[in-house]
Amino acid sequence: MKQFVLSALTAICFSASAEAGVIFTDNFETPVNNMNWQVYQQISGGEWTATQGTGIEIQTSGVVVQAHSGNQYIELDSDISRGGSGNPALSNSAMTRNLTGLEPGNYLLEYFYQPRTGSQNDNTIGVYFDGGELFSNLLDTADGAGANGWIKRSVSFFVGEDNATRRLSFRAEGTENTLGGFIDTVSLQYLGRSGQSIVAVTEPGSLVLFSFSLAGLGFASRRRR
């Protein structure tokens, strides 16, 4: 009986830390861009693929702005004169990441955005999370005017239990002039199932909680004796 209770308490102590977790974090450091800027069809080891326009433009920190983290960041109103093999008539590009095996529940998408030009409707970035037709489910729209520093954007959403392959996309949607909004430091986190109270417990905290549980077992045992 005590062994069963101990096992149950162990599961309780560590289930909180297993409930939430980071699916991915990316600040676009691969491939390493040895030029001021370069356009690619795939980046981050193939995790992101160009799904519209000429390709994904990686800029080196300091060329236009400083990267939010690392040494590179993304512009999706991509220049059509260097690299890329997509549609050369479209400088407004999109990049997409496939996500499979997502648990049902709540998710948090965070990314950093910075407008490049001072014109309204020129720096627009649309964020999509699709299970069916690409660019059918708009999650967020980032828009602004003027390079006033990186802005953190946080978007929460729910994923149902349908086992679909999901696609996360960022797409330039402003004026097509090869001068658009920037993005950097994208992360996706699983927060837990709907209706459950999520408690973020770090490993040291879990060990402390586990110690208190053991102490409670010892006290109960002494009372029975």
Question: What's the pLDDT tens digit per position in 64-83?
Answer: 999 999 999 999 999 876 55
Q: What is the mean pLDDT of the chain?
A: 81
Confidence band of 20 (pLDDT split at 50, 70, 90): confident
Confidence band of 185 (pLDDT split at 50, 70, 90): very high
Does the structure show a pLDDT above 60 at 26? yes
pLDDT at 156: 97
Place of tokens 């059918």: 136
Q: Tell me which of 57-66, 116-125, 189-198 is least confident.
A: 189-198
Q: Tell me which of 5-19, 36-50, 158-172 is least confident.
A: 5-19
Gap between the Cα atoms of 134 and 119, Å rounded? 28
Gap between the Cα atoms of 5 and 201, Å rounded? 21
**DSSP letter string, 101-128:** SPPSEEEEEEEEEE--SSSTTSS-EEEE
The average pLDDT across 197-225 equals 41
Domains and CATH numbers, the chain: 25-201 (2.60.120.260)
More confident residue, 218 or 151: 151
Q: Tell me which of 80-89, 107-116, 134-143 is least confident.
A: 80-89
Is the separation of the CB atoms in 183 and 125 below 8 Å? Answer: yes
pLDDT at 195: 53
pLDDT at 86: 57
More confident residue, 107 or 120: 107
What is the pairing mode between strands 125-130 and 72-75?
A: unpaired
Tokens describing residue 45: 């080891």
Does the structure show a pLDDT above 60 at 176? yes
Most confident region among 13-22, 33-42, 157-166 by mean pLDDT: 33-42
Angstrom distances, CA of residue 181 to CA of 11, 12, 91, 114: 46, 45, 12, 6
Does the structure show a pLDDT above 90 at 110? yes
More confident residue, 43 or 120: 43
Per DSSP, what are the bridge partners of residue 186?
26
> Of 128, 23, 112, which Cα lies nearest the Cα of 70?
112
